[in-house]
């Protein structure tokens, strides 16, 4: 029912001999088994063959279901009944999603994702109390006494990846899982969810359609205020830039706004504001003219954002980042080696993003240069490194995700090091886990973040040590791992290795800044809870540092 096909040369057929076929995807041997009943025997492998395999995979379940209709339906019915009974009897009876959230619009997006999977969700029509906590009107309740119990438990409940003889080799080293070790979307999205051990008795109404929030608009004499805690406020601001609105940002708390809030001038067309509020769900709160007196407010202008893309493909993180920027309507340009090598980057760009990628692929390119014509070979070399270094020195913002930080560590003379470089297995292991971090949300690059958040850490992630010396003061630890109890869900070995070390480092260099995100804050466009660590970098920064 789910297949993957790869390794075809789109223009040139590929011939595969039987002895070239080996086990993969956690299949130790290339042979017939339960999850692989009809192994391919080798031969020519072309795009047409991929299509044929997908056709077979598509129609075979339909054929099986048609020939065994009664059995399939009975099994589906029995499974649904058993899951519902397990939900009634299990230790956790339901998950409550409080209406009071750090980012309520993101919470509503999460509820929509649950709804679209066929999960039954109820909403409270008024305030209620359960197990000693008070939940406001509009809170959601997801009972586990329903057929989708299994996926609910995995998506909303804290999970721990098994650590046993199946997940370690004979020497006790952990075996890398196929994908993540947790898929808890509430943790990824930064949404508070409370598990409860008793059935919820409250005035509830079943959600019957997707949530489509519409923001309120109330203009003040000074304009409007947008809440910086909302991811969607960044989309609203990007639309306001296009509309020619005047936008600034609060450096400190004011009487009518909080640190990091976006302040929109009153000159923008009211119909444009209403359209943005309707489509993003963001409230435009009134800003009194007097509220701006004597406050730390700095102006914003739309930044010129370039995101590096190399040839040879395979950089999925770059593709996911493109999707995210487009979803939130950031104006950006894909830049490749030729643009980097032109030099004088600060004259054309304010921010350059290096998605998670190996330094070797960015700097040196493929180890097989004959695999592509010269015009399609990546590797910007020492000249590109020099250009990026000059870009930062001249006031640019360079953003690195995860292993792309190696370029800064090895070539840009930053006073930090990767504390987990070369560590593997029992020394340190966090393949696709959610880890707790403490965030300095008074820094402009973390505006709108909670002071405690969850990071999705994957293989290739980095953890930073500061280096003593004359330039140590140029480093700011924007996010750090706590002293203990770092794991939220998934699998973590060697907790003490990363305790109290930096998950995100900000380095002032020359007139510019390098933001080193040790984990993928935008992983697969799923980790909404840490988007703002990227989004803030794409906004103009205050002049003082």
pTM for this entry:
0.92
- pLDDT (0 to 100) of residue 292: 66
> Cβ atoms within 10 A of the Cβ of 9, count?
10
What's the pLDDT at 449?
98
Could you tell me whether strands 43-45 and 94-97 are parallel, antiparallel, or unpaired per DSSP bridges? unpaired
Neighbours of 317 (CB within 10 A): 22
pLDDT tens, per residue, the chain with 545 residues: 667 777 666 777 889 999 988 876 666 788 887 777 778 889 998 888 888 888 888 888 899 899 999 999 999 999 999 999 999 999 999 999 999 999 999 999 999 999 999 999 999 999 999 999 999 999 999 999 999 999 999 999 999 999 999 999 999 999 989 889 999 999 999 999 999 999 999 999 999 999 999 999 999 999 999 999 999 999 999 999 999 999 999 999 988 999 999 999 988 999 999 999 999 999 999 999 876 666 689 999 999 999 999 988 768 999 999 999 999 999 999 999 999 999 999 999 999 999 999 999 999 988 777 777 888 888 999 999 999 999 999 999 999 999 999 999 999 999 999 999 999 888 999 999 999 999 999 999 999 999 999 999 998 999 999 998 888 999 999 999 999 999 999 999 999 999 999 999 999 999 999 999 999 999 999 999 999 999 999 999 998 76
CATH topology of domain 305-538: Rossmann fold (3.40.50)
pLDDT at 53: 82
Which residue in 330, 222, 240, 241 sits closest to 282, CA to CA?
Answer: 240
Dihedral sign of CA atoms 375, 377, 383, 385 in order: positive
Q: Give the residue extent of every domain in the chain.
A: 14-67, 82-206, 223-300, 305-538
Q: What are the beta bridge partners of residue 285?
A: 225
- 347: how many CB neighbours lie within 10 A of its CB? 11
Alpha-carbon gap, residue 5 to 56, rounded angstroms: 13
Distances in Å between the alpha carbon of 531 and those of 34, 231, 462, 523?
A: 40, 7, 18, 9
The alpha carbon dihedral of 274, 275, 281, 282 has a sign of negative
Q: What angle do CA 392, 235, 535 make, to 5 degrees?
A: 30
Q: What is the pLDDT of residue 436?
A: 98
pLDDT, position 416? 96
Can you give the pLDDT at residue 49?
A: 85
């Amino acid at each position: 029912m789910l297949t993957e096909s790869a390794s075809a040369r789109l223009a040139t057929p590929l011939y595969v001999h039987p002895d070239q076929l080996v086990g993969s995807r956690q299949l130790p041997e290339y042979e017939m088994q339960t999850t692989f009943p009809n192994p391919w025997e080798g031969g020519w492998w072309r795009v047409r063959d991929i299509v044929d395999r997908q056709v077979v995979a598509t129609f075979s379940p339909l054929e099986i279901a048609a020939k065994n209709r009664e059995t399939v339906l009975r099994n589906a019915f029995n499974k649904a009944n058993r899951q519902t009974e397990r939900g009634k009897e299990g230790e956790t009876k339901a998950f409550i999603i409080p209406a009071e959230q750090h980012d309520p619009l993101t919470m509503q997006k999460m509820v929509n994702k649950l709804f679209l999977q066929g999960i039954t969700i109820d909403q409270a029509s008024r305030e209620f109390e359960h197990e000693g906590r008070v939940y406001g009107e509009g809170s959601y309740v997801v009972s586990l006494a329903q057929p989708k119990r299994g996926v609910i438990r995995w998506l909303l409940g804290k999970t721990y990846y098994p650590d046993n003889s199946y997940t370690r080799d004979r020497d006790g080293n952990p075996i890398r899982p196929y994908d993540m070790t947790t898929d808890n979307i509430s943790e990824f999205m930064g949404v508070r969810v409370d598990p409860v051990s008793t059935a919820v008795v409250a005035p509830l109404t079943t959600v019957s359609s997707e949530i489509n929030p519409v923001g309120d608009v109330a203009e003040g004499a000074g304009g409007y205020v947008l809440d910086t805690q909302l991811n969607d406020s960044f989309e609203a601001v990007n639309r306001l830039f296009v509309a020619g609105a005047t936008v600034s940002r609060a450096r400190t708390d004011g009487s009518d706004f909080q640190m990091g809030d976006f302040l929109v001038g009153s000159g923008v067309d009211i119909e444009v504001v209403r359209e943005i509020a309707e489509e993003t769900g963001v409230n435009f709160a009134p800003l009194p003219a007097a509220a701006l007196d004597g406050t730390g407010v700095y102006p914003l202008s739309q930044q010129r954002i370039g995101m590096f893309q190399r040839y040879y493909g395979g950089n999925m993180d770059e593709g996911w980042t493109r999707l995210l920027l487009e979803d939130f309507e950031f104006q950006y340009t894909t830049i490749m080696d030729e643009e980097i090598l032109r030099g004088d980057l600060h004259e054309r760009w304010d921010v350059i993003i290096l998605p998670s990628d190996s330094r070797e692929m960015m700097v040196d390119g493929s180890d097989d240069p004959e695999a592509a014509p010269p015009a399609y070979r990546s590797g910007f070399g020492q000249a590109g490194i020099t250009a990026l270094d000059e870009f930062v020195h001249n006031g640019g913002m360079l953003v690195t995700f995860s292993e792309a930080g190696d370029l800064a560590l090895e070539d840009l003379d930053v006073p930090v090091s990767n504390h987990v470089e070369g560590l593997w297995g029992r020394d340190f292991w966090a393949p696709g886990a959610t880890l707790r971090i403490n965030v300095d949300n008074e820094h402009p690059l973390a505006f709108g973040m909670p002071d405690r958040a969850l990071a999705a850490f994957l293989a290739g992630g980095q953890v930073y040590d500061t280096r003593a010396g004359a330039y140590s003061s140029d480093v700011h630890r924007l996010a750090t791992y706590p002293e203990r109890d770092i794991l939220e869900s998934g699998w973590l070995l060697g907790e003490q290795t990363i305790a109290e070390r930096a998950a995100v480092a900000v380095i002032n260099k020359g007139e510019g800044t390098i933001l080193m995100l040790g984990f993928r804050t935008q992983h697969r466009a799923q980790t909404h809870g840490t988007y703002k660590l990227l989004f803030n970098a794409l906004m103009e920064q205050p002049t003082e540092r």
